[in-house]
Chains A and B, each alone.
Chain A
Amino acid sequence: MVRICTIPFIILLFVSVLGISNPVSAGVINPDISVIGQIISKRTDDAALEDARIPTLDLGETELVFDSYLNPYSKGLFVLTAGNEGVETEEAYINIFKGLPGGLALKGGKYRIGFGKLNPAHPHAYSFIESPRVMLAMLPGEDGFNEVGVQASVLLPTTGSWASTISADVIKGSSFHPDETKSSAGWVGRFSNSLLINDTVPLDIGTSVTQGTNNAQWKTKTMVYGADIKTKIPLSGLTNLTLQGEYFYNNSDVVFDSTTGDFDANKRKGFYAFADLKFWERWNAGSIYDQYQPMENKDLTNKTIKYFVGYSLLEETTLFRLAYEKFMPEESDTVHTLMFQMVFSMGPHKVHQF
C-alpha cells in the first residue's frame, strides 16, 4: 500500500520541481553547442606497437557538446564523441541543482564519475596530453570511469570559506566488467572539502570510494579507494602554480578457477602527482609523475614521467601542447614517446572550474 502511494507522490514531486506541469513552448532558445577537435601526433619507440618509430598523425576524438538549461531548476548536457571507433555518447545527463531541499542536487544519465579530481574532467581540459597511466590501471573502465547512474549530492552547512560536499552514486556497473553483457550495479561515494588559504590560494582535499562486480557469474568484487589533493598558488597577476596528486588503492577479487569460482584478492596501489606552472600569460609547462602496480603482476611497479609545455591563443579556442613521456615498466624496456596535440574549440567558452 505504501509503495502504491509513494510512487505517484515522487512523480508529482518531480513534476512540480521541474516545472513541467504546464506545457511550454519548445524551441524558445537553442542550447549552447561546442565542437572540440583534438588532433594528435606521436612518435614512440614502443616495440609492441605496429607503428613504432614512425611519426603518426591522428584526428583523435572529436567532441560535440550540447549544453543548456532545461528550466530554472535543471540543466542538461550531451557529449557525443567521434573517433576511430565510431560515434559514442560519452555523456548525457540531467542535473537538478535547484528547488530541492537541504542543499541537495540530483544528477542522472551517463556521466564521467566524480572519482578524484582528474576523472570527472575531459582529457582535453588537462594541462598535459593523455591521462596518467595509473588512472587507466587503477580505475574501472577501459577509457576512463564513465557510467550510467544516478547521483545525489549535498552541500554541507559549513562556516567561513570551508566547502564540503558529500555525494553518492548508484551506477550500472558495466565499467567493472566490460566484457560481460549481464549488468550488476555498483556504487560510488565521495567526500570533498575545499577552503581558501589567504583569500587567494584554494586547497581541495577529497576521498572517493567505489565498488562493483567484476565477475557477474561469481559475484566477485572490485573496490577502489582514492584520495586527492589540489592547490593553485598565484605567483603574480599572470603566473600561477598548480599542484595536484591522487592516490589509488584497488582491491579486486580475481577468479582463478572458473569452474569453482575460487578467487584471490589482488591488492594494488598507485598514485600520480603533477606541477603545472603558468609562467606567462598564455604559456604553461610542467611535469607529471605516476606509478602503479599492474593488474597482471602486483609485485612489479611501472613508472612514468612526462614533461609538457602548452600555449593557448585565446583560452581554450586554440591550444597547442607538446609532451615527452618516459614510461618505465619494471619488466620490459623503457618506452620514449614524443607527442604534439592541437585542441581547437568552437562555441561558447566554458567557465574554468577549479
Chain B
Amino acid sequence: MKKLLISLITFIFIGSIPVFAAPVKIIAALPDLGSIASYIGGDKVDVISIGKNNSNPHSIEVFPSYIVKVSRADIYLKVGLSLDQWSNELIDGSRNNKILVVDCSHGISVLEKPAGKIDASLGDVHPEGNSHYWLDPSNGIIIANNVLSALEKVDPLNSSYYEKNYANFKNETENRITGWKSKMLKLSGKKIISYHSSWVYFASVFNLNIAGNVEPLPGIPPTGKHLSGLANLIKRDSISILLQESYFPDKAPEFLANQTGIKIFKFAPSCSDIKRESYFKHFDEIIDAISR
C-alpha cells in the first residue's frame, strides 16, 4: 500500500513538470503568425492556423471545430490590436486552463493610432491603431521574438533550439529585406492606391505613399462620388498601382482601372499556409508582381 502511494505521488509530481516529448501545439490566428511559429519551433511544434490566407481577418466566424482545436493547444498566437476579437471567443470557449495566450502585436511600433475621440463616424477604426502589422517583414522579427518567449516558457528544455532558430529567422529576414528593398527601389516615394487600409505597414517599409483608399473610410463601401474623386486623383498624379485584398469585390477597382488605366494587384492579405518559408514567399509574390 505504501509503495503504491509513493508511486502515485511520484507519478503526479512528474506529471506536473512540463516536459514536452510531444510537439508543442500552437494555434495561430493567421497563417503569417503560424508560418513564423513553424520557423522558430521547427520540428518541436505542431502549428494550426485558424484564418486562411484569403480570409478577411476582421471577421472570421467562430466554428465549434476551431474551439475544440484551441482546447488541445499549448499556445495561442493572437494578432491583437482589436483585429481578431474572435480569438477571444475561441480561447474562452475552449475552456483550456493551461493555454498560453500571446499577443503578437507586443513590441510593434503601431501606425495610424487615432488621436482624440473615436466613434463609428470614422468607419471601422481600431482604437489601438492599424492592425495589419505583419505586412512589414521587419515586424516579422518582433512576432518571432514573441513566439520565442512563449516557447521558452512552455518548453524550456528546448530553449537553445528555439533561440538558434530565432537567430536564423532574424538573419534571413534582414537579408531578405535588403533584397526586397533593392527590388522596390524604383517604386520608392511613388504614390499608390489601396482598397482597405491594410497596406500601411507594407508601404511604410518600402517607402510607398498611399494617396487614397477605395473605401472612403475603413469598412465603408465606396460611393460613386468617392470613386470619381479617386479617379481624378489617379489621373492627376499618374498613379499606376492599386493594391486590393482578395476578399473585396472587383467592381470598384475595375471601374477605376477602366477610367484611369491603373493596374490592379490583387493579393491575399496573409501568406498561403503555415510552412516556415510561406511568410517570406508572400512578400516575394507581392514584390515580384508590383516591381516588375
Binding site for B on A (CB under 8 A): 75, 97-100, 103-105, 155, 158, 161-163, 165, 192, 194-196, 200, 202, 204, 232, 237-238, 280-282, 313-315, 317, 346, 349, 351-354
Contact = CB atoms under 8 A, between A and B. Distances in A.
B18 interface: no
Please indicate which of the listed interface residues A162, A349, A351, A352 has the most CB atoms of chain B within 10 Å of its own CB. Answer: A351
B68 A352 contact: no
B249 A194 contact: no
A354 B64 contact: yes
Given A155-B71, A237-B54, A238-B247, A202 B63 contact: yes
Given A155-B95, A314-B124, A352 B65 contact: no
Nearest to B84: A351
Given A282-B221, A314-B120, A163 B65 contact: yes
Contacts of A155: 67-68, 71, 94-95
Contacts of A314: 120, 123-124, 219-220
Nearest to B123: A314
Interface string B32-76: 000000000000000000001010000111111101110100000
The main secondary structure of chain B at its interface with chain A is: loop
A161 B68 contact: yes
B47 to A, nearest CB: 15
10 contacts: A98-B96, A103-B71, A155-B67, A158-B68, A161-B69, A204-B64, A314-B219, A346-B120, A351-B86, A354-B62
Contacts of B247: 237-238
B95 A97 contact: yes
Contacts of B52: 200
Given A162-B65, A194-B65, A282-B221, 9 more contacts: A98-B96, A98-B97, A100-B95, A155-B95, A163-B64, A163-B65, A202-B64, A314-B124, A315-B124
A97 B93 contact: yes
B219 A202 contact: no
Nearest to A194: B64
B209 interface: no
B30 to A, nearest CB: 15
B68 A354 contact: no
Contacts of B97: 98-99
B222 to A, nearest CB: 11
A192 B63 CA distance: 12
A281 B52 CA distance: 18
A354 B157 CA distance: 39
A204 B62 CA distance: 13
A99 B99 CA distance: 12
Interface in B2-19: none
A75 B68 CA distance: 20
Given A98-B97, A314-B220, A75 B64 contact: no
B173 to A, nearest CB: 29
A30 to B, nearest CB: 14
B217 to A, nearest CB: 9
Question: Lowest 10 A-B CB distances belong to which pairs?
Answer: A194-B64, A163-B68, A163-B64, A161-B65, A237-B247, A196-B65, A202-B63, A351-B89, A352-B61, A351-B86
A233 to B, nearest CB: 13
B268 to A, nearest CB: 10
Contacts of B86: 351-352
Contacts of A163: 64-65, 67-68
B246 interface: yes
B63 A281 contact: no
Contacts of A352: 59-62, 86
B95 A237 contact: no
B95 A105 contact: yes
A238 to B, nearest CB: 6
A161 B52 CA distance: 16
Contacts of B67: 155, 163
A240 to B, nearest CB: 10
Given A158-B68, A346-B120, A354 B61 contact: yes
A281 B249 contact: yes
Contact of A353 (B62, B68, B248): B62
A232 B64 CA distance: 13
Nearest to A193: B64
B59 A237 contact: no
Contacts of A280: 249
Contacts of A346: 120
A195 B65 contact: yes
B174 interface: no
Nearest to A236: B247
A99 B249 CA distance: 44
A200 B51 CA distance: 10
Contacts of B92: 75, 97-98
